[in-house]
Amino acid sequence: MAAEEAGGVGRSPACLCVLCGLPAAGKSTLARKVLRSAPLHGWRATVVPYDDLIPEHAFQIRAEEDGGTLQEIHTEWKSHRQAVLQCIEQFLEKPQLLAELPVSCQIDSAAWQQCIRALLQPEALDRSQAERAPLLFLLDDNFYYPSMRYEMYQLARKYSLGFCQVYLQCDLESCISRNQCRSEPIPTEVILEMVKRLESPNPQKNSWETNSISLNTTDNLSKCDIQRVMELISSALSNPLSPAEDNTKQKEADRLKCATNVVHQTDQACRRHISEAMKTARENQVAPKHMKSLAAQLNESKATFLHNLRRQLLQEASFAQEEDIDVERVVKRAVDVFDHEKKEILLRIMNENN
């Protein structure tokens, strides 16, 4: 088993604790408080601060044009996040190489050294305790998409680690105010954009997020809040995840079923949009020959669109994961794209009719 091959980690329990929420919601403050409490529980703990590990240039946005619209792409940022994941995994596989970074690693070496120093030299534990002490990784980042958190869940399951999540819920005004008091505040626009994208842990939707709690951090963290977090981590350490079984065929069948469901619902919605377009054309007294052309173009556009949608869904990595898919949201996005095509075709036909 992977956990048994992980050297010291195989002999000591370990936990990945995801701290997620808006910038300035209090994640780093919580991490510091947990670090101070960890030795009292006999844990070796460290914070993995993504902001320190990932260089600033990786967060720069590059714009590309796709179908006439500008798309914002964080290509370097994504690859640097993967680099952090790789460093954690290397530690889990070969703890004797704690101080070494993977070849061509993109993260900040000094920041990583600081992360692992707390594991190598836990000041509050004597040497005999430290060798067998449970390991705690406090992952300090926004983690605003479930897919970001799911990567950590997969890693925990691969090595039979404990896994838990703490969502720090703080109102927008407080986050902006706290951020402005920082020595190096991030742009307010970044926080406003993240509010739109943030998807908090949802155990009802994603079963793998069951071991999660939410803290209201608009006010200061209380002793009760810290106690809840420590109990959550303790429970995760006592109940490590089981390694995933090889169910490739079942996952492929589930992915096909999900894609078929999305395409079916999208087809039904597109049919309604076509009916609306035909009704609009009739109300504007479009000539019969143009009505016939409109119907043909709309149906041809729908067929091509659904074919491409199905192919895209089956190729996307997210559909290959075991993460639950929000079918309703995927359908809505797809229908919005088709609606744009429908309007262009309708406008073109009506112009030809005049």
Q: Name the nearest CA neighbour of 217 among 18, 15, 28, 16.
A: 28
Instruction: Name the residue with higher pLDDT: 108 or 136.
Output: 136
Amino acid at 42: G
| pLDDT at 76 (0 to 100) | 64
| pLDDT at 174 (0 to 100) | 92
Does 342 have pLDDT greater than 70? yes
Instruction: Name the residue with higher pLDDT: 121 or 273.
Output: 273
Does 343 have pLDDT greater than 80? yes
Structural tokens at position 244:
């995933």
Q: Name the nearest CA neighbour of 203 among 214, 195, 216.
A: 214
Backbone angles phi, psi at 286, to 5 degrees: -70, 135
| pLDDT at 322 (0 to 100) | 43
**What mean pLDDT comes out for the span 270-283?**
92
| Cα–Cα distance measured from residue 78 to residue 318, given in angstroms and rounded to the nearest whole number | 15
| pLDDT at 247 (0 to 100) | 59
Does 205 have pLDDT greater than 60? yes
**What mean pLDDT comes out for the span 101-120?**
72
| pLDDT at 100 (0 to 100) | 57
| pLDDT at 324 (0 to 100) | 55
Structural tokens at position 305:
């669109």
Structural tokens at position 90:
């290397």
Class of domain 2-238: alpha beta
Instruction: Name the residue with higher pLDDT: 143 or 327.
Output: 143
**What mean pLDDT comes out for the span 1-9?**
41
Q: Give CATH 3.40.50.300 domain extents, the chain.
A: 2-238
| pLDDT at 157 (0 to 100) | 93
Span 212-236, pLDDT tens digits: 999 999 988 999 999 999 999 999 9
| Cα–Cα distance measured from residue 213 to residue 215, given in angstroms and rounded to the nearest whole number | 7
H helices present in 103-219, as ranges: 109-120, 127-130, 146-158, 172-180, 188-197
Instruction: Name the residue with higher pLDDT: 274 or 52.
Output: 274
The beta strands (E) that lie in the chain are given as: 14-21, 44-49, 62-66, 69-73, 135-140, 162-169, 212-216
CB atoms within 10 A of CB 37: 16
Span 54-101, pLDDT tens digits: 766 555 555 444 444 444 444 566 777 888 888 888 888 876 555 555
Q: Name the nearest CA neighbour of 30 among 125, 164, 140, 135.
A: 140
| pLDDT at 85 (0 to 100) | 87
| Cα–Cα distance measured from residue 342 to residue 188, given in angstroms and rounded to the nearest whole number | 37
| pLDDT at 29 (0 to 100) | 93
| pLDDT at 297 (0 to 100) | 92
Average pLDDT, the chain: 82
Q: What angle do CA 172, 178, 182 make, to 5 degrees?
A: 140
| Cα–Cα distance measured from residue 283 to residue 91, given in angstroms and rounded to the nearest whole number | 68
pTM of the entire predicted model: 0.64
Does 255 have pLDDT greater than 80? no
Residue 317's contacts (CB-CB under 8 Å, 6 or more residues apart) are none
| pLDDT at 25 (0 to 100) | 92
Does 329 have pLDDT greater than 70? yes
Of 198-207, 278-287, 321-330, the range with the lowest mean pLDDT is: 321-330
